[in-house]
A and B are shown apart, each in its own frame.
Chain A
Amino acid sequence: MNGRNLLRMLSSLKLTVALLFCVVIICLIGTAFPQDGVSALAHSHVPGIASLLSPYDIFHSIWFIAAGILLCVNLVLCMRGRLNLKRKNLLMLLLHVGIILVVIGYSMGSLSLEGFIEIPEGTAVSQAMLKKGSAYDLGFSVRCDRFTIERYTNGMPKEYISDLSFLKDGAVAGQARLMVNHPARFEGISFYQESFRDTFSASVTVADSKGVKTYRMLQGEVIPLSPDGTRAEVVKVWDDLMRTGPAVKLKISGPSGEQYLWVFRDLKLLKERMPGILEQMPGFDPSGLRPYTFSLESLDASPATGIGVKRDPGAPVAAVGGVLFLLSLLLLLAVPRVNAGREKGREKIPIAQRKPSGKRTEGCREGTV
């Protein structure tokens, strides 16, 4: 194939239609395989053609990007000859420029920030967990002053509300009420109400030969118990375990290894209900780990709000592209339909010029739409 033929092929509408269907097929694969990132990782070791197709991350695959680039090249080449500024052709040009802008805006997504913060009510957070797994310093901190769930009379949730304060150098620099569909912005970063959960803090008393100490422990928090490296962590909490009330499961790690201990708030009730249980289940004995004796004073639940943290410099570009596309499309329909003549048998402008041989030309510079 010589250069001229290649150019003709690259600027043909046949290629446009073929490429559109290629993207359709790639998208089909994209909805048939989960694109959640987890599956991609789980299947990353699978060798051969399957991984080459990268079906679990198809929208970042070479196939998708290549099809997209080819489509854009095809589009630009098609538009090349339309630069004569006739009204209709100009609209056609603007319409396709709109698509290119959307593609450019979307491609700028690699510059975007996409993270998550979880703030227990009453506390502040200054780092976001990025989707990639690393932490991102926001440059300020966000405090959740209050998290509220409003409900309808039938109990269905009506609104999730986070009242936030943005703190700079310890002082409140801004405040916002965050709700679903009502994001907040601070210093160029947008915040979205995404989720919530109850977090628990346990008040645990530890007695040993040296004395008695009370710790306030959040779930997952690790507390050092002694200089020899022994530490405790609340790994699980229950509102009501074995119908005796609150309980926590502690992981005690030390020089002698790891051990688990179930600490009940109401040990007396447990012993009454099930006599001999401490002998049967050594893990239930609060003094089972020498020299410590654990007791659970209280277990308090407080809500934590889950907030999406985003910044996407490409979004305005894509938005301009989308609006440009739509406006051109609307105007195109409003402009008197030049080509309608043919379908009503009053042909004025040929839609596809035919070569003397009768074969249709494939180049899309001929004809109108």
Chain B
Amino acid sequence: MNSGTLIGIVTFVYLGAFGLSITGLATGKRELARFVLIAALAGFALHSAGILLRWHESYALGNGHVPLSNFYESLVFFSWATVLVTFVGIKGQARETVLAFVMPGAALMLGYASFSPGVENAIQPLIPALKSNWLAIHVITCFLGYASFFVASVFGIIILGSSRPAEEMHALGAMFYRCVMIGFIFFTVGILTGSVWAQMAWGRYWGWDPKETWALITWLIYAAVLHERIRGGGMTRRVAVFSLVGLASVLFTYLGVNYLPGLHSYF
């Protein structure tokens, strides 16, 4: 079995977990939560194996490199990172709720990567611009940042959808803050490593390339989220709204920028 098939299977495992999860939420059968967790964990294990297998396959082809070098590989990693953040960052009952949002998101990314004819999934050798030790650390930190922001906005949606005042939802507010903060740190490292790499490759650490500018826009919006949280004295509905604006910016930074001319055309 090759990594592509394995990743394709993971898509359906995540979809299954999502199905179980909404069934559990809709029928109130709490015992289903355990199976959601098992399915998600199984999917995550296969997903990790798929990434490692693809890495191995690239070596077998004679041009071995970390599988983080094109759009397909970035989708697979983004999806993996969201599930990872959910398992590592969220504890207890909240994880069940978050999984109900993360599973379809992760499946959608994998499904798009695996089944869209527009996404090239062949393993290609690295072009000279990508042959750098900064590639892995830059891409990994950026996507862990994106993934944490994604999970944070799940809390944003839950808080906005609830009839209770945001200020009273202390546990959710604390988890929201944790995700934003961890995302902010990863994303900052991503931008900094990106600028070091840009300095090595192009001789300028910042050049207002659309991807760079959009990364800054996303970073500024999350800076605003953090400041608004202090200003408002904790979690408020406005903070939650800002975080959703942030998510839109994350998605545009990742996907939308490809439609603008720039130097980040490989992702």
Which A residues are closer than 8 A to B by beta carbons?
13-14, 16-17, 20-21, 23-24, 27-28, 30-31, 34-35, 59, 106, 114, 152-154, 156-160, 179-183, 190, 192, 194, 308, 310, 312, 315, 318-319, 322-323, 325-326, 329-330, 333, 340, 342-345, 350-352, 360, 362, 364, 367, 369
B191 to chain A, nearest CB (A): 9
Residues A326 and B189 in contact in the complex (CB < 8 Å), given A181-B200, A192-B202, A344-B174: yes
- Is the pair B125, A340 in contact by a Cβ cutoff of 8 Å? no
- When C-beta atoms are compared, the residue in chain A nearest to B130 turns out to be A181
Most buried by A among B214, B221, B231: B231
- Is the pair A17, B128 in contact by a Cβ cutoff of 8 Å? no
- Is the pair B201, A180 in contact by a Cβ cutoff of 8 Å? yes
Which of B171, B203, B221, B226 lies in contact with A192, CB distance below 8 A? B203
Which of B125, B129, B220, B234 lies in contact with A27, CB distance below 8 A? B220
Residues A312 and B204 in contact in the complex (CB < 8 Å), given A14-B231, A16-B227, A181-B132: yes
- Is the pair B181, A364 in contact by a Cβ cutoff of 8 Å? no
For residue A179, which residues in chain B have a CB less than 8 angstroms away from its CB?
A: 128
- Is the pair B233, A352 in contact by a Cβ cutoff of 8 Å? yes
For residue A14, which residues in chain B have a CB less than 8 angstroms away from its CB?
A: 231
A155 to chain B, nearest CB (A): 10
- Is the pair A159, B202 in contact by a Cβ cutoff of 8 Å? no
- Is the pair B170, A152 in contact by a Cβ cutoff of 8 Å? no
Query: B124 near A: Cβ within 8 Å?
Result: yes
A79 to chain B, nearest CB (A): 13
A101 to chain B, nearest CB (A): 13
For residue B234, which residues in chain A have a CB less than 8 angstroms away from its CB?
A: 342-343, 351
- Is the pair B128, A31 in contact by a Cβ cutoff of 8 Å? no
15 additional contacts, CB 8 Å, given A326-B185, A343-B174, A360-B232? A14-B231, A59-B208, A152-B125, A154-B125, A159-B131, A160-B128, A180-B128, A183-B203, A308-B202, A310-B203, A315-B205, A318-B205, A326-B189, A333-B181, A344-B174
B176 to chain A, nearest CB (A): 10
- Is the pair B224, A31 in contact by a Cβ cutoff of 8 Å? no
How far, in whole Å, are A291 and B51 apart by their CA atoms in the complex?
73
- Is the pair A364, B230 in contact by a Cβ cutoff of 8 Å? yes
For residue B224, which residues in chain A have a CB less than 8 angstroms away from its CB?
A: 16-17, 20-21, 24
Query: B88 near A: Cβ within 8 Å?
Result: no
For residue A17, which residues in chain B have a CB less than 8 angstroms away from its CB?
A: 224, 227-228, 231
For residue A31, which residues in chain B have a CB less than 8 angstroms away from its CB?
A: 210, 213-214, 257, 260
How far, in whole Å, are A364 and B181 apart by their CA atoms in the complex?
19
Which of A16, A156, A325, A342 lies in contact with B188, CB distance below 8 A? A325
- Is the pair A329, B184 in contact by a Cβ cutoff of 8 Å? yes
- Is the pair B128, A340 in contact by a Cβ cutoff of 8 Å? no
Which of B128, B132, B195 lies in contact with A159, CB distance below 8 A? B128
Most buried by A among B132, B203, B230: B203
Count of chain B residues with a beta carbon within 8 Å of a chain A beta carbon: 54
How far, in whole Å, are A367 and B261 apart by their CA atoms in the complex?
44
- Is the pair B203, A351 in contact by a Cβ cutoff of 8 Å? no
Chain A binding surface SS class: mixed
- Is the pair A333, B217 in contact by a Cβ cutoff of 8 Å? no
Query: What are 10 of the A-B contact pairs (CB < 8 Å)?
Result: A14-B231, A23-B220, A27-B220, A28-B217, A153-B62, A158-B128, A159-B128, A181-B128, A310-B204, A342-B234
- Is the pair B204, A24 in contact by a Cβ cutoff of 8 Å? no
B114 to chain A, nearest CB (A): 23
Query: B127 near A: Cβ within 8 Å?
Result: yes
8 smallest beta-carbon distances between A and B, as pairs: A352-B233, A310-B203, A13-B231, A180-B128, A20-B224, A192-B203, A343-B174, A343-B170
- When C-beta atoms are compared, the residue in chain A nearest to B262 turns out to be A31
For residue A183, which residues in chain B have a CB less than 8 angstroms away from its CB?
A: 200, 203
For residue B132, which residues in chain A have a CB less than 8 angstroms away from its CB?
A: 181
Most buried by B among A20, A318, A342: A20
How far, in whole Å, are A159 and B63 apart by their CA atoms in the complex?
13
- Is the pair B223, A20 in contact by a Cβ cutoff of 8 Å? yes
For residue B217, which residues in chain A have a CB less than 8 angstroms away from its CB?
A: 24, 27-28
For residue A27, which residues in chain B have a CB less than 8 angstroms away from its CB?
A: 213-214, 216-217, 220
Which of A13, A153, A181 lies in contact with B129, CB distance below 8 A? A181
For residue A28, which residues in chain B have a CB less than 8 angstroms away from its CB?
A: 217
For residue A330, which residues in chain B have a CB less than 8 angstroms away from its CB?
A: 185
How far, in whole Å, are A349 and B80 apart by their CA atoms in the complex?
38
* B167-212 at interface with A (beta carbon < 8 Å): 170-171, 173-174, 177, 181-182, 184-185, 188-189, 192, 195-197, 199-206, 208, 210
- Is the pair B202, A24 in contact by a Cβ cutoff of 8 Å? no
Contact flags B98-128 to A (C-beta < 8 A → 1, else 0): 0000000000000000000000000011011
